[in-house]
Amino acid sequence: MARAVFVCSECGAESARWHGRCPSCGEWSTLVEERAAEPPRGAPRAGGAHRARALEPVPLSEVEAPRVERLETGIGELDRVLGGGLVPGSLVLIGGSPGIGKSTITGGALGNLAAAGRKVLYVSGEESAAQVKLRAERLGEHALRVPIVVETDLDTVVATIEAERPDACVVDSVQTLYAQGLTGAPGSVGQVREVAGRLMRVAKERGVATILVGHVTKEGALAGPRVLEHLVDCVLQFEGERERTFRTLRALKNRFGSTNEVGVFEMRERGLVEVEDASRRFVAEATRAPGSVVLCAMEGSRPLLVEVQALVAPTEIVPPRRVANGVDRNRLALVLAVLARHARLGLGSSDVFVSVAGGVRVDEPGVDLAVALAVASAARGVPLGAAGRPLAAFGEVGLTGELRHVAHPDRRLAEAAKFGLEPVIAPGAPGRTIRAALRAAMGAAERAEAAA
- Amino acid letter for position 125: G
DSSP 117-149: T--EEEEESSS-HHHHHHHHHHH-TGGGG--EE
Q: Is the peptide bond before 66 cis (omega within 30 degrees of 0)?
A: no
Residue 64 maps to a domain: no
Residue 43 maps to a domain: no
Distance CA 192, CA 230 (A): 13
Q: Let me know whether 17 and 31 are in one domain.
A: yes
Strands 396-397 vs 262-268: parallel, antiparallel or unpaired: unpaired
Q: Let me know whether 249 and 330 are in one domain.
A: no
Q: Do 426 and 393 form a contact (C-beta atoms < 8 A)?
A: yes
Return the CATH number at 405: 3.30.230.10
Pick from 260, 276, 292: which residue ends a domain? 276
Strands 234-239 vs 91-95: parallel, antiparallel or unpaired: parallel
| Cβ-based neighbour number of residue 395 at 10 Å | 30
Q: Let me know whether 32 and 147 are in one domain.
A: no
Q: Let me know whether 236 and 140 are in one domain.
A: yes
> pTM for this structure?
0.78
Return the CATH number at 129: 3.40.50.300
Residue 290 maps to a domain: yes
User: Which three-class secondary structure string do you get for 271-321?
Assistant: EEEECCCHHHHHHHHCCCCCCEEEEEEEECCEEEEEEEEEEEEECCCCCCC
Pick from 245, 276, 307: which residue ends a domain? 276
Q: Which sign does the torsion angle of CA 195, 200, 201, 207 carry? A: positive
Residues sharing a CB contact under 8 Å with residue 190, sequence separation 6 or more, in sequence order: 7, 34, 35, 36, 182, 184
Q: What is the pLDDT of residue 238?
A: 87
Q: Which of 90, 128, 127, 135 is nearest to 108 (CA)?
A: 135
Name the stretches of the chain with pLDDT < 70.
1-3, 35-50, 217-225, 242-243, 387, 429-431, 444-452
Q: Do 42 and 228 form a contact (C-beta atoms < 8 A)?
A: no
Residue 22 maps to a domain: yes
Q: Let me know whether 297 and 259 are in one domain.
A: no
Q: Let me know whether 371 and 419 are in one domain.
A: yes
- The DSSP bridge partners found for residue 313 are 351
Q: Let me know whether 137 and 14 are in one domain.
A: no
Q: Let me know whether 137 and 170 are in one domain.
A: yes
Q: Do 283 and 301 form a contact (C-beta atoms < 8 A)?
A: no
Strands 209-214 vs 168-172: parallel, antiparallel or unpaired: parallel
Pick from 215, 244, 276: which residue ends a domain? 276
Q: Let me know whether 265 and 404 are in one domain.
A: no
Q: Let me know whether 303 and 171 are in one domain.
A: no
User: At 411, phi and psi to the nearest 5?
Assistant: -65, -40
Q: What is the pLDDT of residue 26?
A: 87
Q: What is the pLDDT of residue 38?
A: 57
Q: For residue 176, what are the domain limits?
A: 76-276
User: At 283, phi and psi to the nearest 5?
Assistant: -70, -40
Residue 65 maps to a domain: no
Domains held by the chain: number: 3
Q: Let me know whether 305 and 405 are in one domain.
A: yes
Write the burial class of residue 69 (CB in 10 Å: 0-12 exposed, 13-18 middle, 19+ buried).
Answer: exposed
Task: Classify residue 240 as left (phi > 0), alpha (psi -120 to 50) or beta.
Answer: left
Q: Let me know whether 284 and 163 are in one domain.
A: no
Q: Is the peptide bond before 427 cis (omega within 30 degrees of 0)?
A: no
